[in-house]
Structure 1
Amino acid sequence: MSTEKLTQLVDIVVEPNLQNPDHFPQVECRPTSKTVLPLDRKKRKDYRDLLVATLKGDWETAKPILDKDRGMVQARLTKGGDTVIHVAALGQCTSFVKELVDYVTVEELAVENASNDVALVNVAASGMVQLAKLMVEKNNELPMCRGMADGNYGSLPFAAAAAIGHIEMARYLYRVTGFDHLDGKERTRLFFFLPLRSVRLSIRDTEEVPHNGI
């Protein structure tokens, strides 16, 4: 898909982050503000330039924009509240994602979009295991960060991969997800969420993967 078509799919919105990037919650996976403020023309251009650079996988253009205003790391660039990290995950440019993961802090990597999903959910849905490993190696709590807007656990990165049928991704995320932190009811719901029996069997047939009650 061309960059022009991608930018049409991810329209810019005006929602900058208000928090001091040096002060994040210690536990929660949602360190950004959802307050909407008007943007001047220059700031709006910066948003669009960052979005386009991210879609192109152009780190040389994106980095100076982030360097100039660190808050841009958490700026919501799309109607869905996606940040530069979410958009990069969708773009699937390995080199760009690697540079961005190295650039951001552990807390910034856990920024959520409007659906309360971290970027690892997007990566899980893409099936690109290499990108998932980059993120989890930086922040090993990401596999347990999931959206709760629908009241269930379907947005766990593992569940996102399994639902689509990305078996290798599901196997990897199964190994790194702390299912022991879920109670029995939650584990049962997650098991029956998986629509593909082949995914469940494939995971269980992997000798190096513990069952963890799933």
Structure 2
Amino acid sequence: MDWRVLVKTYLLVQDGEEEAADKFKAWRKKNATALHTIQISCGQEDFSLIKNTISAKRAWDTLAEQFKPKPTYYNDYNQYNPLFDAVLSGDWNKAKEFLTLHPNAVRATIPSTNNTALHMATDLEDEHIVEELVQLMSEEDLELKDNEGWTALALAAQRGNIKMVECMVRKSKKILSIPTEEDNMTPILHASINEHWDVVDYLYSVTPLQDLMPEKGPYGATLLRNFIIGMKFGSLPSKI
């Protein structure tokens, strides 16, 4: 970007009054001057990108595209921390105001944990903010995982918050089948191992049956084991 400014300044200095009657000749001379200036000042490696270009504008646009600042949105915590601060303090009005100006921030992550705002609200069990965020997120956004491989649904199931679980599942059924990476357990297993049987009951009604079949992995067997343990120790509610 600094080089861009310097070259433009140099070309302004070189651009005196053109006395040539032939406008095409005048343009060709200016084009050659500009192209030559760009070629000799951009470095050997970068020159290879434009060495066959005869148009100064095309050479300029090629370099501009190649070296334009790359967006650092997803992990730019300093830019998007007002959203996380608002969620942390439970202030949905501030969070909504920020998301109105920066709608893509709904999938931004904290670099140290890879948590989204939804992960944070779920961890805090702020049901209102969770519901509002889910409305703004796409199905793919709900598949985002933190550094330990947890989706927000897995976290909600572990917490045993049925309202948050139902809210997320209404938006996406695919997340029912996504296991956490650290222990390879789907949301229904996290609910069962923590004896949140109301959540288990709900998730069992919506989890694809094939996810619990032997060929899919140990998920069905693990669920049955947790269920038997719950029966043995009398932790199951009467309706189950």
Q: CA deviation at 1:144?
A: 1.0
Aligned to 1:119: 152
Q: CA deviation at 1:198?
A: 4.0
The structure with the largest alpha-carbon Rg is 2
Aligned to 1:133: 166
The separation in 2 between residues aligned to 1:181 and 1:105, in whole angstroms, is: 23
Question: How far does the alpha carbon of each residue in 1:94-140 deviate from its partner, in whole angstroms, 9 at most, with x for none?
Answer: 21111111222222222222233211011111111011111111112
The separation in 2 between residues aligned to 1:106 and 1:133, in whole angstroms, is: 14
User: For the Cα contact (< 8 Å) 1:162–1:196, is it kept in 2?
Assistant: yes
| Runs of 5+ unmatched residues, structure 2 | 1-71
After the TM superposition, which residues 66-81 of structure 1 pair with which residues of structure 2 at under 5 Å, given as runs? 66-77=99-110, 79-81=112-114
2:184 corresponds, among 153, 171, 191, to 153
The separation in 2 between residues aligned to 1:112 and 1:200, in whole angstroms, is: 32
1:174 corresponds, among 180, 199, 204, to 204
Q: CA deviation at 1:89?
A: 0.8
Aligned to 1:56: 89
User: For the Cα contact (< 8 Å) 2:106–2:133, is it kept in 1?
Assistant: no
Aligned to 2:116: 83
Change (3 A) 1:106 1:185: closer
Question: TM-score with structure 1 length normalisation?
Answer: 0.66
**Aligned AA (2:131):** K
% of aligned pairs identical? 23
User: For the Cα contact (< 8 Å) 2:99–2:105, is it kept in 1?
Assistant: yes
The separation in 1 between residues aligned to 2:147 and 2:220, in whole angstroms, is: 22
The separation in 2 between residues aligned to 1:200 and 1:176, in whole angstroms, is: 22
The separation in 2 between residues aligned to 1:124 and 1:62, in whole angstroms, is: 24
Q: CA deviation at 1:62?
A: 0.6
Q: CA deviation at 1:67?
A: 2.2
User: For the Cα contact (< 8 Å) 1:16–1:76, is it kept in 2?
Assistant: no
Q: What is the root-mean-square deviation in Å for CA atoms of aligned residues? A: 2.8
2:221 corresponds, among 183, 187, 191, to 191
**Aligned AA (1:59):** W
Number of aligned residue pairs: give it.
165
Structure with more helix by fraction: 2
The separation in 2 between residues aligned to 1:198 and 1:132, in whole angstroms, is: 23
The separation in 2 between residues aligned to 1:113 and 1:105, in whole angstroms, is: 17
Question: TM-score with structure 2 length normalisation?
Answer: 0.59
SS at match of 2:140: helix
Q: CA deviation at 1:78?
A: 5.5
Aligned to 2:192: 162
Change (3 A) 1:137 1:192: closer
